[in-house]
């Protein structure tokens, strides 16, 4: 790409550190705490780190370098960047942002639950009382907070605690990103290290509890026989792919605010290892406490181990409620950690969407952000109904398995096979301390696409063979396949809508005018 090409003035991160922190914050989310430890323990303990790190170096880091590289080099968000790389592929970028939008709507709902639990914990702490879920954590979650019904179509009314949590979440997102990178740069300097500090405090508490050793043994004891199971390897790749926020367009957008000659490869290694290190560390926090819960119940750790909502809102809270002292304080620390882990991921997804829209239609950033947050709040009301948990589950499954995975696959095809990866690699090496070799081309062209294709095929077969979680087919058609098709249509429509040329932008810089040389 010609370095003489005129580029419109673009916002910049306050520093390289701010960019790296923001990217790590985007990558490190709720899944690092509530999914990785469970998957690692389930699939070989310490032995799981072998496929995990192989997946990191053959798929995670290569694809992260690709996304950061094209964002930084082309100085624009995902739709415009992919449109410049190859004419007619702008829609793939919009597709990625549409997937991110759907994910942000239910992710904000989970954040709302965290706000609710933080409020209940603070009330118990100030009042000197026991946490309100002490009697039956599952009953408290499903009946008191969510008012859950198991039929997706039995919407019932709205859960007031969830609605209030949604309002707080979307107001927070608006305040963080509507003024641009100056505020975001300052926010991430607090929200990225804070959850690590909180997790460290929780780990210290966990290590003092009876049964902590058994929990750690369950988490870390290697079972190399598990490596013979192909599913272990697929889950390792899946964990790496989804935990690095790949396929959302986030890393492309974030990198577009870096100076064009900033180091790409080194930053990507730091971001990746920071994300993986946090996941591994979170496992110690989780399993010291679950070991304590297992000891209290007199059962194996495997009987109390859970992932996702079951861990964050039932198993861990139950352990908190049964701790001998300062249960409310531990509750405050735990749910504050969840909030600070999740907030960076959520506003990074929204930032990618705002960047894509602003690149094509350079209207007021605050207006775009306000409209999107309002839409997010309105859509979130679906997830605040009594059947909201069902819809969270369905949409999450399809967006992760058939949304992000396909976007990642198409990205690899566009850049790996329709663009000169060798030329891109030479440019990456020219701006980076760490030089990458032809292994990067092989990973982008062969390894990552192959793994994603196999995963997609297996997921399609599984979904056609067995209805997901026994939900009615009508709900799966609407919330699953319907939403998956809708995001593709949205991508194509947004590509076809005519954009606005920003002041100082030449026609040659407009997306979709041909392959970038």
**What is the model's pLDDT at position 415?**
85
Alpha helix (H) residue ranges in 141-192: 160-177, 181-191
Question: Quick one: pLDDT at residue 6?
Answer: 47
302 with 38: CB under 8 angstroms? no
Query: What angle do helix axes 181-191 and 16-27 make, rounded to 10 degrees?
Result: 60
Helices (H), 298-364: 301-304, 309-310, 316-321, 327-360
Distances 362 to 179, 282, 365, 490, 506 between C-alpha atoms, Å: 14, 41, 8, 20, 14
Q: How far is CA 446 from CA 63, 65, 120, 243, 450, in A?
A: 12, 16, 50, 21, 6
| DSSP secondary structure code for residue 158 in this structure | B
pTM: predicted TM-score of the whole model, two decimal places? 0.92
Rounded to an integer, what distance in angstroms lies between the CA atom of residue 430 and that of residue 262? 10
For the segment 84-110, the average pLDDT, to the nearest whole number, is 94
For the record, the structure tokens of 348 come out as: 């990074």
> Among 307, 260, 223, which residue's Cα sits nearest to residue 68?
260
Q: What is the pLDDT of residues 212-267, one digit of tens each?
A: 999 999 999 998 998 988 888 888 888 888 889 898 999 999 999 999 999 999 99
Report which DSSP code applies to 228.
G
pLDDT at 514 over 80: no
Residue with tokens 């798929």: 59
In this prediction, residue 43 carries a pLDDT of 86
Whether 346 contacts 376, CB under 8 Å: no
The residues, ordered by sequence, that sit 6+ positions from 126 with a Cβ below 8 Å of its Cβ are: none
What pLDDT shows up at residue 1? 41
Fold of the 30-501 domain: Amino acid/polyamine transporter I (1.20.1740)
Own/partner contacts of 303-310, CB < 8 Å, gap of 24 or more, are 305/38, 305/41, 305/42, 305/218, 306/38, 307/34, 307/35, 307/38, 307/39, 308/34, 308/35, 309/34, 309/110, 309/141, 309/389
Query: pLDDT higher for 515 or 168?
Result: 168
Per-residue pLDDT band for 511 (boundaries 50, 70, 90) equals: very low
Q: Are 215 and 288 in contact (CB under 8 A)?
A: yes
Q: Band of the pLDDT at 324, cuts 50, 70, 90?
A: confident
Indicate the average pLDDT of the chain: 91
How far is residue 289's CA from residue 292's CA, in Å, rounded to a whole number? 5
Per-residue pLDDT at 489 = 96
User: Strand pairing partners for 158?
Assistant: 385
CA distance 84 to 71: 11
pLDDT tens for residues 345-403?
999 999 999 999 999 998 889 999 999 999 999 999 999 999 999 999 999 999 988 88
Query: Comparing C-alpha atoms, which of 91, 70, 71 is closest to residue 79?
Result: 91
**pLDDT class for 2, splitting at 50, 70, 90?**
very low
Q: What percent of the chain has pLDDT over 90?
A: 75
Within a 10 A sphere around the Cβ of 323, how many other Cβ atoms? 20
**What pLDDT sits at residue 466?**
87
Tell me how far apart the alpha carbons of residues 170 and 165 are, in angstroms, rounded to a whole number: 9
Per-residue pLDDT at 502 exceeds 60: no
Mean pLDDT of 399-411: 88
CB within 8 A of 11, min separation 6: which ones?
180, 181, 257
Is the pLDDT assigned to residue 64 strictly greater than 50? yes
* Nearest-angstrom CA–CA distance, 332 and 197: 14
| Cβ neighbours for 412, distance < 8 A, ≥ 6 positions apart | 63, 66, 444, 445, 448, 449, 452
Residues 254-282 as b/e (b if ≥16 CB within 10 A, e otherwise) read bbbbbeeebbbbebbbebbebbbebbbbb
Within 10 A of 82 (CB to CB), how many other CB atoms are there?
31
Phi and psi torsions of 385, nearest 5°: -75, 175
84 and 137 Cβ atoms separated by less than 8 Å: no
Determine contact, residues 40/284, Cβ cutoff 8 Å: no
Phi–psi pair at 222, nearest 5 degrees: -75, 140
How many percent of the chain have pLDDT more than 70? 95
End-to-end CA distance of the chain: 5
Amino acid 115: pLDDT: 97
What is the separation of C-alpha 368 from the centre of its chain, rounded to a whole number of angstroms?
22
Domain boundaries, the chain: 30-501
Cβ atoms < 10 Å from Cβ of 333: 20
Evaluate if residue 516 carries a pLDDT over 50: no
Average pLDDT over residues 476-503: 90
Provide the token pair at 113.
Answer: 């639950």
Weakest-pLDDT range from 7-11, 219-223, 306-310, 409-413: 7-11
Q: Quick check: 414 pLDDT over 50?
A: yes
Distance CA 41, CA 46 (A): 8
Tokens of 397: 């499954």
Distance of alpha carbon 181 from the chain centroid: 20
The C-alpha atoms of residue 259 and residue 86 are separated, in whole angstroms, by 23
Q: What average pLDDT does the segment 410-422 reach?
A: 85
pLDDT digits (tens, 9 = 90+) for 252-288: 999 999 999 999 999 999 999 999 999 999 999 999 9
In tens, the pLDDT along 174-212 reads: 999 998 899 999 999 999 999 999 999 999 999 999 999
Helix, strand, coil abundance in the chain, percent, nearest 5: 75, 0, 25
């Amino acid at each position: 790409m010609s370095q003489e090409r005129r580029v419109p003035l673009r916002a910049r991160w306050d520093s390289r550190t701010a960019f790296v922190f923001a990217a790590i914050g985007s990558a490190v989310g709720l899944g690092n705490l509530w999914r990785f430890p469970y998957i690692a323990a389930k699939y070989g303990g310490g032995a799981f780190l072998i496929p995990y790190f192989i997946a990191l170096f053959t798929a995670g880091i290569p694809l992260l370098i690709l996304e950061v590289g094209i964002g930084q080099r082309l100085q624009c968000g995902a739709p415009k960047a992919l449109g410049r790389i190859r004419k007619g592929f702008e829609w793939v970028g919009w597709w990625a942002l549409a997937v991110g939008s759907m994910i942000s709507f239910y992710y904000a709902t989970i954040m709302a639950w965290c706000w609710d639990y933080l409020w209940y914990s603070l009330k118990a702490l100030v009042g000197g009382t026991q946490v309100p879920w002490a009697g039956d954590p599952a009953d408290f979650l499903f009946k008191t907070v969510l008012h859950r019904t198991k039929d997706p179509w039995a919407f019932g009314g709205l859960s007031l605690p969830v609605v209030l949590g949604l309002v707080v979440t979307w107001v927070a997102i608006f305040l963080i990103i509507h003024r641009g990178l100056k505020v975001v740069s300052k926010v991430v300097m607090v929200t990225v290290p804070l959850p690590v500090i909180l997790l460290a405090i929780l780990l210290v508490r966990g290590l003092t509890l009876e049964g902590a050793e058994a929990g750690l043994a369950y988490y870390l004891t290697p079972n190399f026989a598990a490596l013979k199971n192909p599913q272990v390897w697929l889950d390792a790749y899946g964990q790496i792919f989804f935990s690095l926020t790949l396929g959302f367009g986030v890393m492309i957008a974030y990198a577009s605010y870096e100076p064009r000659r900033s180091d790409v490869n080194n930053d990507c290694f730091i971001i990746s290892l920071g994300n993986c290190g946090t996941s591994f560390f979170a496992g110690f926090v989780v399993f010291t406490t679950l070991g304590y819960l297992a000891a209290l119940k007199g059962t194996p750790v495997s009987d109390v181990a859970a992932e996702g909502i079951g861990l964050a809102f039932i198993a861990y809270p139950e352990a908190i409620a049964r701790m001998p002292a300062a249960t409310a304080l531990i509750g405050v620390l735990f749910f504050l950690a969840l909030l600070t882990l999740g907030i960076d991921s959520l506003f990074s997804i929204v930032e990618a969407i705002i960047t894509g829209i602003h690149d094509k239609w350079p209207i007021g950033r605050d207006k775009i952000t306000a409209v999107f947050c309002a839409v997010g709040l309105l859509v979130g009301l679906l997830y605040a109904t009594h059947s909201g948990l069902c819809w969270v589950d369905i949409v999450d499954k399809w967006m992760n398995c058939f949304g992000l995975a396909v976007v990642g696959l198409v990205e690899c095809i566009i850049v790996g096979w329709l663009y000169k990866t060798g030329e891109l690699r030479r440019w990456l090496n020219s701006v980076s301390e760490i030089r990458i070799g032809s292994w990067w081309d092989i990973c982008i062209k062969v390894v990552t696409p192959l793994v994603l294709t196999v995963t997609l095929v297996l997921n399609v077969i599984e979904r056609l063979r067995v209805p997901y979680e026994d939900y009615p087919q009508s709900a799966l058609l609407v919330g699953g396949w319907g939403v998956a098709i809708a995001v593709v249509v949205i991508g194509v429509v947004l590509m076809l809508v005519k954009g606005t040329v920003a002041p100082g932008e030449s026609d040659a810089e407009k997306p979709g005018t041909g392959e970038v040389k």
